[in-house]
Structure formats: C-alpha cells, structure tokens
Amino acid sequence: MMGNKKRAALPGAMAAVCLLLLWKPYSAAAAELPPHLIQTVSEEDIYDGLLALGYLETAMLDTPDCERAYGNVRDCVVQIRMEHANGSGIIWKLTEDYVVIATNRHVLDYWTEDSGYVHFPQGFDMDAQLVGKSERFDVGFVAVDCGLFTYEELQRLRYARADMEAYEALEAGDEMFLVDAGSARRDERYYVGSVGDKRRYIEDFDADMLYGYCFAEAGMSGGGTFDGRGCLIGMTTGGTARDETASVPLPDLFAAYGEVVEGTAYDG
C-alpha cells in the first residue's frame, strides 16, 4: 500500500503533460534574484485532469458495433472475488480518493472484509471496503482506496458511460451485450443478444428488470449490460437456460447510488 500522497505543486486539474519555464528579460537586478524554478506537472495532476474532463469514461461509438464497443468497455468491468463465490462489478465512478464499484446486492451477501477483494482487468488485485447495499434494489457498492494504486495505474482505469438517453431510446430487438468478468472461464468473453423490454416485471426478482435474450452464466452477476454503442444500460443479474436475461435497469442503478453512496466520503 502506498503512503500518503503529497499534493502537486501546480494547483487544479491539468489535462496533459506540460513544462513551464518562467522567463524574464535579463537585467542586473534579476541576476541577484534566486533562479526561477522549472515546474512540471505530476502524474497526480494528469489523473486529476483526465478525471475532470471525463477522459476516463468509456468511449461511445456513433453506430452500434458490439465487437468494437466491447473493446471500449472491457476495462470498466471487474471481478469481485470472495472466499466462497465470485461475481462481477462495474466501475461506476472514479474520484480523487476512491474507485467506486457497483455490483449486485446478492453478490455482496458473500462479502467479508477479510476475504473480499477486486480483480481489475489490467491485472491489479486490490483490497476493497463495503460501502453499503440498497434496500430497494439488488445493488450494492464497494470502494477501493486510490492510494493502493500508482497514478500511472489510475490513469489506465475506466468507468462506465451511464447514459440515460441511450437507455430511454432502447427498443425491442436492439442489440445488446453482456461482459463476463466473474465466471470460471479464463479467457475474456462477451455475449451478444437483444433487448426484449427495457422494463418488465419479473416475479423471480419481484422487480422491474431490463429483460433480454442473451447467454449468461454463474459469476456474471453484477457485470455490465451494454447497448451496441457501448453505453451501460443495466447490471446483469440473472439468466435462464433459455437464454433469457434480467438486468437491473440503468435508472435503478442511479437510484441505488443515490440511496447508498451520495453524500458519503465515497461520493467524491
């Protein structure tokens, strides 16, 4: 674990690396002054700048293409590892201090602080702390302290593009895909399917769910359900042997975040 990070000399968020030399015309008086300092932007400044400008949000395509979209979003889906179960999670928000990850409440029912940790697709295994679980939705949140990463590593993370307009525009038959981060398979996988209904009551969950037709298996709970352009439209929650899937709809993810995380230290 890294120690306390020192704040950089340059205040504010910077979007790119730069080198600043303060220069004045030479004069005899100036020669008596201490030399001007060359100030460089730190990796922390770069991270803060990327964060402030939204450059760490996953990219969205102009037209649907699930294969290309998967390449854009794969880094925002993580594996939730526990002693007796594995699940998936979505990087929901990056802040200066925390990586906030959303997953299913039923996944976090297996979570213990002693055994639970997060595996990132970049290869990082990080301890996390339970933020809380929603009472209304099958959603919960964990957070990873940014101090466990280097700033170079933080710059490689991506959080999901959660676009309500994309969700509201969904129609039956639209392509969607599910990202597998938590199953027993070792290779990266995603599965393409189609939207059935963006909000349908499903008795097994006693909730309105994003209903679709796609393959899903154990370990994918808590992962992302995306449209063909790479926008997050729900959280994969369950599936059947007939390739029917149920995901927590995007509006309910926002509501769960407001219920559990907003106003806390993890909110940025």
Q: Please state the rounded mean pLDDT for residues 246-263.
A: 98
Q: For residue 264, what pLDDT is reported?
A: 96
Looking at residue 248, its pLDDT comes to 98
Give yes or no for a contact between 141 and 100, defined as CB atoms under 8 angstroms apart.
yes
Check whether 113 has a pLDDT greater than 50. Answer: yes
| Domain extent listing, the chain | 75-160+254-267, 164-253
Whether 75-160+254-267 and 164-253 share one fold: the answer is: yes
In this prediction, residue 87 carries a pLDDT of 93
- Identify how many contiguous H helices and E strands the chain contains and give both numbers: 7, 15
CB 205 within 8 A of CB 177: no
Going through 95-128 in order, the beta strands assigned E by DSSP cover 98-103, 117-119, 125-127
Name beta bridge partners: 125.
119
pLDDT tier for residue 228 given thresholds of 50, 70 and 90: very high
Q: Note the CATH architecture for domain 75-160+254-267.
A: Beta Barrel (2.40)
Radius of gyration of the chain (CA): 21
In sequence order, which residues have a C-beta less than 8 Å from that of residue 12 and are 6 or more positions away?
A: 48
pLDDT at 37: 59
Share of the chain above pLDDT 90, in %: 77
Tokens read off for 166 = 């994309």
> Which sign, positive or negative, has the C-alpha torsion 98, 100, 105, 107?
negative
Contact 103, 90 (CB under 8 A): yes
Please name which of 70, 135, 80 lies closest in space to residue 111, comparing C-alpha atoms: 80
Each residue's pLDDT tens digit, 200-221: 999 999 999 999 999 999 899 9
Using the 8-state DSSP alphabet, how is residue 37 labeled? P
pLDDT at 80 over 70: yes
Return the structure tokens found at 238: 């369950």
Are 218 and 183 within 8 A, CB to CB? yes
Mean pLDDT score across all residues of the chain: 87
Closest to 50 in 3D by CA, of 87, 94, 9: 94
Output helix, strand, coil percentages for the chain, rounded to the nearest 5: 20, 35, 45
What tens digit of pLDDT does each residue of 2-26 get? 444 433 443 444 333 333 333 344 4
d(CA 56, CA 50): 6
Q: Which fold has domain 164-253?
A: Thrombin, subunit H (2.40.10)
Q: What is the pLDDT of residue 183?
A: 77
pLDDT-above-70 percentage for the chain: 84
Note the pLDDT of residue 40. Answer: 76
Mean pLDDT within 88-114: 96
Q: How confident is the model at residue 181 (pLDDT cuts 50, 70, 90)?
A: confident
Q: Are 178 and 233 in contact (CB under 8 A)?
A: no
pLDDT tens by residue, 115-156? 999 999 999 999 999 999 999 999 999 999 999 999 999 999
What does the pLDDT read at residue 38? 59
